[in-house]
Structure 1
Amino acid sequence: MSSSTAVAPASRREALFGAAQSTYRDFVRDKWLAAGTALRFTGGRLAASLGELDAVLGDWADQRIGDVREYPSFVSRDGFPLEISVSWRGGVPELRVLFESLGAVPTARAAQDAGRALTRSLAGRPGVSLARYLAIEDLYVVEDPLPFRPTVWHSLAVRAGEPPCYKVYLNPQAHGRRAVPEVMRETMARLGLSRAWDVVAAGYRDLAAEGHQLEFVALDLADRPEARVKVYFRHTGRVDLDRVASLARTHDPVLAGPAYRDVHGSPALPANEPMTCLAFRSGRSAPEEANVYLRLAGEVESDADAAARITSVMRRFGIDHRQYLDVARALAPRPLETTTGLHELMSFRTASQRPDVGVYFRFAVYDTPVDGAHA
């Protein structure tokens, strides 16, 4: 997910990927194939996942990327509307793509409309349910959405032995920051999560004053009882990484501490806008899990430096770091020692004694970040 333009000066760089003549579809297929091959997906599974990817990308993906961005997507600092990530849960990798659908014209309203249409097109797929999304959609769409802000985004995730998973991302700031508490109160009431949300809402004003800004809401588009509602906070300034995460039942600051230090040193008080996601499930009286996203932009000297820090975390907790390195090298346009900016985030979740780790890759195709303040 995007870092704000406050981070951009530390990350100014020439484009890593010469993609102007490619279509969005061909570009992301190439990267998906590279990552899936590095993860040793079987031929059949890789082909099936490419089919899912093609199906979820709309006609917009057949546009040429071009030398100049026409629409600045908030997915990336340079306005590119796609990112790929890999998460290791229980040691098993999950390959994912996050994207914003582009509209027929290069406006935020057109992108919002395209995202809404894509959500509806997923109805009827095995295991997919739109009921929770449709119950809250009106809280998150507006007549004139701001440019370079989230609209209606989606992700596709593929993991061995499981059907494809879809998620939708929404912007709780769509009506302005002052409206966020009311938007969240109504969202959680409609989703039957008011009791669990009260744990967060009781301290929301203090969290916001300390620099913890609520930026995304995401829903698993699934009909399973364990389907999550995820709430993402961006941390501005030098903040305690456990402040929001400790609201979750399974977060363990003692277990998380070494991962923070492997990435950020000691004391781990990064100022490059890390994030925390709280996951809510039906029937629970508090947030269930917390994912802490440690931002690498502005922190590392090169992608090799980022890889060394991520590898340290993975080795510490018994995750196959060689598999991760294969993915990073497969996605990089040049040796990792010669690039900066491919690695954006490392996520860390202490849901068990074997934490889950994720790595988020960005594809800078334009020469400069998007100008403008992070609203």
Structure 2
Amino acid sequence: MLANRLKGTLVHSGSHQLGQVARGLGLDDTCTQAMQEVFRTMAASWHDLPASGNPAWPSDVCDDHSPYELSMTIEDSGPQLRVLVEPMDRPASLSANRIASLRLHEVLRRNYGINLDRLHALENLLMPEEARGHFVAWYSASIGKGEALDFKAYFNLGCLGRERAPKLAEEAFRRIGFHKVWPTVVEMMERRGGGQDELCYFALDLSHRSDARAKLYFRHHRATAEFVDEFCGVARHYEPGIVTDFCRKMGGGSEGPYCSKGLVTCFNFTDPSDSRPKAVTAYFPVSHYARNDSVIQERISSYLKEQSLDTRPYLGAIEACAQRSLQVGTGIHTYAAVRWMEKRPRVTVYFSPETYGRLPASANPYHTPSLPMEMEQDESATVLH
């Protein structure tokens, strides 16, 4: 565990932490250096921001407004390391961040050969000059052993107001050739009605592969585990009960409704001729449903063991991420996610660098309406070694 918060610029501390996590996952020097280089590229627009003080821009990437997030995926084939970044410019504003993002497109194409065809088709739709809300665009890079770098772009469907998100999503699918999916999406949105299942993000693989994904994200307000499980059933590769079990394990036994922060689902569309998504990932905001990060670590470790997945990469990653005791509070872990493919799970854990501090107590209520007091009292904290 790092004894003190890293000093210097935010990019320097982020690159150092990324290297620590990569080594914790067991990645070799080639993978580590590739990720550090791409992080510095994606974060170049805020390269001289200090790794302390107050945020120049209240980024929505993490609860503490850090403009980047680390994550790692565990599956049978081995771990994968990811980093998500929000480009920013100065003076900080949505308009400035939009311009920084547009510049980054060409840098990534020139340096890494990303596919800009679909991105260009959506720029004036999902990155409008009059954008409002929490962000315009985010970008991620990932790598695993023996893998090439993989890139994604994420857009805010609320950039013109929450009420216009469905129209933006429908047009985005149309522009990239997915003409058949919208009736399925409409049916999904109408299951509970009242905007309780909110369209929030649209994402693209920036790849030249024929199966490059378009991804649609929902946030489910005050939903139960059972409802989210049923919602996930629209995906072709999904087994009923997976999400209910995952939510129960991540929520300390609670099956909701989850009222502190809504769960998120992401549907992957790869075949323009198919009206249904191929796969789905469910995200549980673990930092909002536990007393501290030590409790979260125990829950994630237990779930990995139950699924016969190696816990060592995760434990190595959390040790590299933690710059304080896990028992102090929550905020190091942000989400845990599960995706089920070919009868096996893929688990992803997301970490905040806590650049601007851990979650305040008021932003981290432990209880959900269905979580009894005795369950909290029975939680056993574990110590990170």
Q: What TM bracket, shorter-length normalisation? A: 0.7 to 0.9
**Following TM superposition, by how much is the alpha carbon of 1:183 offset from its aligned partner in structure 2, in angstroms?**
1.1
Identity %: 27
1:348-359 to structure 2, matched below 5 A, reads 348-359=338-349
1:33 aligns with 2:23: no
Q: Contact between 1:329 and 1:336, CA under 8 Å: does it hold in 2?
A: no
In the other structure, the counterpart of 2:140 is 155
In the other structure, the counterpart of 1:344 is 334
Distance in structure 1 (CA, Å) of the matches to 2:161 and 2:254: 36
Question: Residues 308-340 of structure 1, C-alpha deviation per residue, up to 9 Å, x if partnerless?
Answer: 111121111111112211111121012323342
In the other structure, the counterpart of 2:63 is 77
1:319 corresponds to which of 293, 309, 320: 309
1:329 aligns with 2:319: yes
Match of 2:231, SS? Answer: helix
Consecutive unaligned residues of structure 1, counting only runs of 5 or more, are 1-15, 371-375
1:360 aligns with 2:350: yes
Q: CA 1:17/1:78 → structure 2, altered by over 3 Å: closer, same or farther?
A: farther
Match of 2:60, SS? Answer: coil
Distance in structure 1 (CA, Å) of the matches to 2:113 and 2:271: 17
Normalising by structure 1, we get a TM-score of 0.88
Q: Contact between 1:192 and 1:282, CA under 8 Å: does it hold in 2?
A: no
Match of 2:327, SS? Answer: helix
Question: Residues 24-82 of structure 1, C-alpha deviation per residue, up to 9 Å, x if partnerless?
Answer: 21121121011011111122332233223223331422222441222111112222111
Question: Residues 133-190 of structure 1, C-alpha deviation per residue, up to 9 Å, x if partnerless?
Answer: 111111112334335x121110111112221011111111111122122111111111
Distance in structure 1 (CA, Å) of the matches to 2:139 and 2:83: 8
Distance in structure 1 (CA, Å) of the matches to 2:42 and 2:117: 19
Q: CA 1:200/1:369 → structure 2, altered by over 3 Å: closer, same or farther?
A: same
2:297 partner amino acid: A
Q: CA 1:146/1:249 → structure 2, altered by over 3 Å: closer, same or farther?
A: same
Distance in structure 1 (CA, Å) of the matches to 2:8 and 2:122: 36
1:204 aligns with 2:189: yes
In the other structure, the counterpart of 2:377 is none
2:47 corresponds to which of 61, 77, 80: 61
1:229 aligns with 2:214: yes
Consecutive unaligned residues of structure 2, counting only runs of 5 or more, are 361-385
1:280 corresponds to which of 269, 276, 281: 269
1:36-185 to structure 2, matched below 5 A, reads 36-126=22-112, 128-146=114-132, 149-185=134-170
Distance in structure 2 (CA, Å) of the matches to 1:113 and 1:105: 12
In the other structure, the counterpart of 2:229 is 242
1:190 aligns with 2:175: yes
> Which stretch of structure 1 is more off in the superposition, 58-67 or 155-164?
58-67
2:201 corresponds to which of 216, 233, 237: 216
The size of the alignment, in residue pairs, is: 355
Q: Contact between 2:74 and 2:313, CA under 8 Å: does it hold in 1?
A: no
Distance in structure 2 (CA, Å) of the matches to 1:368 and 1:193: 41
In the other structure, the counterpart of 2:255 is 267
Distance in structure 2 (CA, Å) of the matches to 1:57 and 1:139: 24
Q: Contact between 1:20 and 1:64, CA under 8 Å: does it hold in 2?
A: no
> Which stretch of structure 1 is more off in the superposition, 130-139 or 43-52?
43-52
2:241 partner amino acid: V
Q: CA 1:327/1:367 → structure 2, altered by over 3 Å: closer, same or farther?
A: closer
Distance in structure 1 (CA, Å) of the matches to 2:216 and 2:315: 29
Distance in structure 2 (CA, Å) of the matches to 1:44 and 1:367: 31
1:163 partner amino acid: A
**Following TM superposition, by how much is the alpha carbon of 1:208 offset from its aligned partner in structure 2, in angstroms?**
4.7
Distance in structure 2 (CA, Å) of the matches to 1:335 and 1:307: 12
Distance in structure 2 (CA, Å) of the matches to 1:32 and 1:177: 34
Q: CA 1:122/1:207 → structure 2, altered by over 3 Å: closer, same or farther?
A: farther
Runs of 4+ in 1 over 6 A off after TM superposition: none
Distance in structure 1 (CA, Å) of the matches to 2:127 and 2:33: 35
Distance in structure 2 (CA, Å) of the matches to 1:160 and 1:60: 29
Normalising by structure 2, we get a TM-score of 0.86
**Following TM superposition, by how much is the alpha carbon of 1:18 offset from its aligned partner in structure 2, in angstroms?**
6.9
> Which stretch of structure 1 is more off in the superposition, 351-360 or 120-129?
120-129
Distance in structure 2 (CA, Å) of the matches to 1:310 and 1:78: 22
Match of 2:8, SS? Answer: coil
2:292 partner amino acid: S
1:177 partner amino acid: R
Match of 1:123, SS? Answer: helix
Question: Residues 175-228 of structure 1, C-alpha deviation per residue, up to 9 Å, x if partnerless?
Answer: 112212211111111111121232112342445526111111110100101111
In the other structure, the counterpart of 1:9 is none
